[in-house]
Amino acid sequence: MPDAPTAQTDARTRGRRENFPVLSWLVPRRLQPAYAAVYRFCRAADDAADRPGDPAENLQRLAELRAGVASLYGGLPGRAADRAVFGPLGAAVRGFGLPRAAFDDLLDAFEQDQRQSHYATWEDLLGYCRRSADPVGRLVLKIHGVEDAERLALSDATCTALQLTNNLQDLRPDLLTLGRSYLPEDVANRHGLDPRALAAAIRRDAGSDAAACRACPPVAGAELRALAAPLAATVADLAARARALFEAGSALPARLPPRAARPVAAFGLAGAAVLRRVAEAGPGLARRRPPPPRGALAVALLKARFTPHGKGSP
């Protein structure tokens, strides 16, 4: 039976892997292989980056994926072990002209995760999001033949909001399993919160839970209660920033043909639903990862199916 951190990691992985199958019915059949190829690459890189243990081993696996990207764009055969990833991805790259820079940016972000565990400023965190999330949206739009600066900027807003939402949702498991905090220190400090003190309190809380020491003084629980007010204010601040980005990006589907508008709208609507659940959890994020709002997600998918869109072929 896996220990608590492993179980948390497995739960997060299962949840992320469900995203593409759930959304695939909104994607035209002829585009589904390209979506799946991009998803498979992101999944492989995410698995490499989020393995608890030695960051050097993770960096080695990411270097292998980077070499695969270089081989793909250089017209050279890659490693046989990576054929399941790069075979379909090569077809997508050739068929849709997917830009290499997007894959390089994603790998840069995953490598950054191995070297950086805290963020000093909001701008630093946005820089990470520009590499870790925005390229995915740009690849999706490229599959649909969209590459103008105005619509790419709207996509970036939605993708950054999705990344910020995920960071908040996974606040506790990211700290416990990966030793990472995505609470920017300048924002947290403004509300009287020290993210490093919060991280230490969460680790002690997890340790006391694992020991099941009911007779011990609830020191860790008291620490988290003392941090609840500044954490609540920090979460509310970051959630408001993510909400503003979702609202900015919500203009995108109406400027896309229906075949692109539906999946893009689904990502935004579903992300906004998760953000509402995260914002409601507030300081409770330090104790547990909130479950996905399945009812709200179903409504978001239905709304996406009938979302207003621009002109173009279905």
CB 132 within 8 A of CB 111: no
Q: Based on the domain organization, do 170 and 303 belong to the same domain?
A: yes
Q: Based on the domain organization, do 259 and 213 belong to the same domain?
A: yes
Q: Based on the domain organization, do 77 and 101 belong to the same domain?
A: yes
Series of mean pLDDT values for 10-residue runs along the chain (314 residues):
35 42 74 95 94 91 96 80 90 97 98 97 98 97 97 98 97 94 98 96 79 43 92 99 98 93 90 96 96 65 51 45
User: Which residues constitute the domain of residue 60?
Assistant: 10-115
Q: What pLDDT was estimated at residue 80?
A: 62
Q: How open is the CA angle 210-216-218, to the nearest 5 degrees?
A: 80
Burial 123-150 (b: 16+ CB within 10 A, else e): eebbebbbbbbbbbbbbbbbbbebeeee
**Contacts made by residues 178-182, CB under 8 angstroms, sequence distance 24+:** 178/50, 178/52, 178/113, 179/117, 180/113, 180/117, 180/118, 181/117, 181/118, 181/119, 182/119, 182/125, 182/128
Q: What pLDDT was estimated at residue 220?
A: 55
Q: Based on the domain organization, do 106 and 150 belong to the same domain?
A: no
Burial 73-97 (b: 16+ CB within 10 A, else e): eeeeebeeebeebbebbbebbeebe
Domain boundary (115, 144, 168) is at 115
Q: Look at the chain and report how many structural domains it folds into.
A: 2
Residue 276 lies in a domain: yes
Residue 184 lies in a domain: yes
Q: What is the CATH number of the domain that holds 172?
A: 1.10.600.10
Q: Based on the domain organization, do 262 and 125 belong to the same domain?
A: yes
pTM comes to 0.86
Quick one: CA dihedral 26, 28, 30, 31, positive or negative? negative
- Residue whose token pair is 């809380």: 205
Residue 5 lies in a domain: no
Q: Based on the domain organization, do 25 and 150 belong to the same domain?
A: no
Q: Helix 294-305 and helix 258-281: axis angle, to 10°?
A: 160
Q: What pLDDT was estimated at residue 146?
A: 97
Instruction: At 144, list the tokens.
Output: 């649909």
One-letter identity of residue 259: R
